[in-house]
Amino acid sequence: MTKTKLILAYIANDRARKASFKKRTKGLIKKADELCTLCDVKACAIIGNPYDNEPEVWPSNLRAQQVISEFKKLPEHVQSRNKEDNQSICQERIAKKEGKLRKQYMDNNQKELTKIMYMCLVSGAFQNLSLASSESLVFLLNQNIKDVGRRIELLQNTLFPSQDNVE
């Protein structure tokens, strides 16, 4: 059974939001405990609680303070090695989205050129194309010709093996 994508949005209903907070807090603490047990690492969790003045601390205040002080004793480059803030997370997301956008732009451009190519081949009207479109169209035509040539060669080698291999 596959999980559906979780829609992250503010829960307007107070009672449902509080129940979700408790359930997720419990799950987060369970994961931290599993991480400590299975991977033999030191971890702590401090979760600010909007429904109570005291934050929820796991495993205990004293143990959490020990883990934090051990972490702060590490050199700065070790501390910041896996640290991420909102800005770096946003920059990563922006970079990924820009990459997807570039890829989509290239795909759209390729499809548009293919459409123009077929329209020009059917109608024979190449006069209305700009210089850039003409150059791109020539490149696309040459690429298609090379692809067709490779396909023909592959089919010939598959259907009609060379005489050198038969003898």
| Cα–Cα distance for residue pair 4/103, rounded to 1 Å | 26
Give 159's DSSP letter.
Answer: H
Last residue of a domain, one of 27, 48, 83: 83
* 44 and 64 Cβ atoms separated by less than 8 Å: yes
45 neighbors 25 (Cβ within 8 angstroms): no
**Residue 2 located in a structural domain:** no
Cβ contact 54:65 at 8 Å: no
pLDDT on residue 68 = 92
pLDDT band at 159 (very low <50, low <70, confident <90, very high): confident
Measured CA to CA, the distance from residue 50 to residue 53 in angstroms comes to 7
Number of domains in the chain: 2
Same domain for 69 and 100?
no
State whether 94 and 154 are in the same domain. Answer: yes
pLDDT at 78 over 80: yes
Q: In the predicted model, what is the mean pLDDT of residues 79-106?
A: 90
Strand, helix or coil for residue 45: strand
CATH label of the domain that carries residue 40 = 3.40.1810.10
Q: Is 9 among the domain residues? A: no
Q: What is the pLDDT of residue 140?
A: 84
In this structure, is residue 47 part of a structural domain?
yes
Look at residue 98 in the predicted model and tell me its pLDDT: 97
Give the angle subtended at the CA of 20 by the CAs of 19 and 25, to the nearest 5°: 100
pLDDT digits (tens, 9 = 90+) for 125-150: 777 777 887 888 888 889 889 999 99
What pLDDT is recorded for position 167? 47
Task: Write out the residue range of the structural domain in which residue 148 sits.
Answer: 87-166
* 46, 66: one domain: yes
- Tell me, yes or no, whether 108 lies in a domain: yes
Q: Specify the higher pLDDT residue, 127 or 54.
A: 54
What is the model's pLDDT at position 1?
A: 60
Domain end call among 38, 64, 83 = 83
DSSP-derived secondary structure letter, 113: H
Same domain, 76 and 91: no
